A and B are shown apart, each in its own frame.
Chain A
Amino acid sequence: MSETSGMSGTVGRRAPVPAEGPANLADILERVLDKGIVIAGDIRVDLLDIELLTIRLRLIVVSVDKAKEMGIDWWESDPSLSSRARREESVEGAGTDVGRLAARVAELEKRAGPEGRQEGSG
């Protein structure tokens, strides 16, 4: 598609539409594929069956283990902010195991760190 690759809503082709919204494909895909109301139409297509990993993980979201590796897990320890837990359950088992292990390691490291235990050989 020959859309401009700008980040903000600058697609001015259709003048009467003020709320074109952002042009970032990732922003759009995470909403139209994963949010919004699910209503079974006459044509039954379950997006969860459509190569979930291709569409959702490979393209939109950094993979679970990669996210852990990058340290993107701070909210997971916060019970009020746990939307990822559900999602990860629906993801392939192997990735989840890796993610869970990495999370566990990160948690242990965190616990060892700020508790004031002196590191080093002294």
Chain B
Amino acid sequence: MNPTQARYLYAYAVVRASDAVAGALETVTGVADGPVRAVRHGDLMVLAGPVPATDHGERQLAEHLEDLDWLERTARAHQRVIGAAAAVAPSVLPLRLATVFHDEEGARAMLGARHDTLLAALDRLDGRTEWGVKIYALGTARPAGTVAVPPPDAPRAAVSGRDYLRRRAAERHAAQEGVRREDEAARGIHTTLTALAQETRLHPPQNPRLSGQAGRNVLNAAYLVRREDGPRFTSAVAQLAERAPRDGMRVDLTGPWAPYSFAGTDASPESP
């Protein structure tokens, strides 16, 4: 970065004030290849780093966010910093992408104004991490033999309108039955994992064009799990993943993440 350039301050996460956390983040590269530092205010600090003002004003950000390459670079850098913080801090509140202040004073003012809310959220998420589980139905669990498909060279006359309709109904029924079984299997997995988690969030299914995953994404969930329960949770997922192919499913595990899906202070728990 050109040192004479005007800078803004890009904020990544809020954590409790800690020299150890601040020190650990010094080696991490943030957005726009910039460094990361801690801006303190009382018992809180925001992890933030300088970014070129020319690229991070309101208009420029709005433009950049439409550019997938920029978005990917920035999103990965944002997650890299937050992931690094979550590896060393007991509790991390990830901020939404593109939270930008003019300077440290702005960031400190924010910490002061929202102190109690932020601290309460940090307490709530203390010692907890997020795991992501996605289930894909591969469409291989359709009950075999229920659909009698006549060979393509079958004599035309043999298929009456009534047979045709009956066959169509049988096909539709078989397809519905397959989907029902897949959904049932997904629901069973979700129930098992929910019992091991403190909270659960369901996300919309992912676009296969972006995720590059085959199959129907029937579950895209996040689970908030105590750190010490992590091994139990991941081995449960591993077991389910091993059994899943029998039901025509694939189970993907991601994490541990900082508790992105649970950080929203307005969010009410969705699990009963």
A54 touches B66 (CB 8 A): yes
Chain A 16-38, CB within 8 Å of chain B: the 1/0 string?
11111110111111111111111
**How many whole Å from B51's CB to the nearest CB in chain A?**
10
Complex: chain B residue closest to A114, CB-CB: B180
List residues of chain B with CB within 8 A of the CB of A55. Answer: 65-66, 71
In the bound complex, how far is the Cα of B93 from the Cα of A38, in angstroms?
A: 10
A22 touches B254 (CB 8 A): yes
Would A113 and B100 be within 8 Å (CB), given that A16-B24, A31-B79, A62-B217 are in contact?
Answer: no
Would A35 and B264 be within 8 Å (CB), given that A44-B58, A70-B216 are in contact?
Answer: yes
Chain B 197-217, CB within 8 Å of chain A: the 1/0 string?
000011111111111100011
A42 touches B165 (CB 8 A): no
List residues of chain A with CB within 8 A of the CB of B118. Answer: 37
Count of B residues near A, CB < 8 Å? 84
B99 touches A39 (CB 8 A): yes
In the bound complex, how far is the Cα of B183 from the Cα of A63, in angstroms?
A: 19
Interface size class of A (residues with CB under 8 A): 35 or more
In the bound complex, how far is the Cα of B70 from the Cα of A94, in angstroms?
A: 29
A17 partner, pick from B80, B208, B261, B272, beta carbons under 8 A: B80
List residues of chain B with CB within 8 A of the CB of A24. Answer: 211-212, 254
In the bound complex, how far is the Cα of B183 from the Cα of A22, in angstroms?
A: 26
A42 touches B169 (CB 8 A): no
A25 partner, pick from B75, B84, B263, beta carbons under 8 A: B75
B207 touches A26 (CB 8 A): yes
B211 touches A14 (CB 8 A): no
A60 touches B210 (CB 8 A): yes
B87 touches A41 (CB 8 A): no
**How many whole Å from A33's CB to the nearest CB in chain B?**
6
Would A42 and B100 be within 8 Å (CB), given that A14-B28, A26-B211, A80-B270 are in contact?
Answer: yes
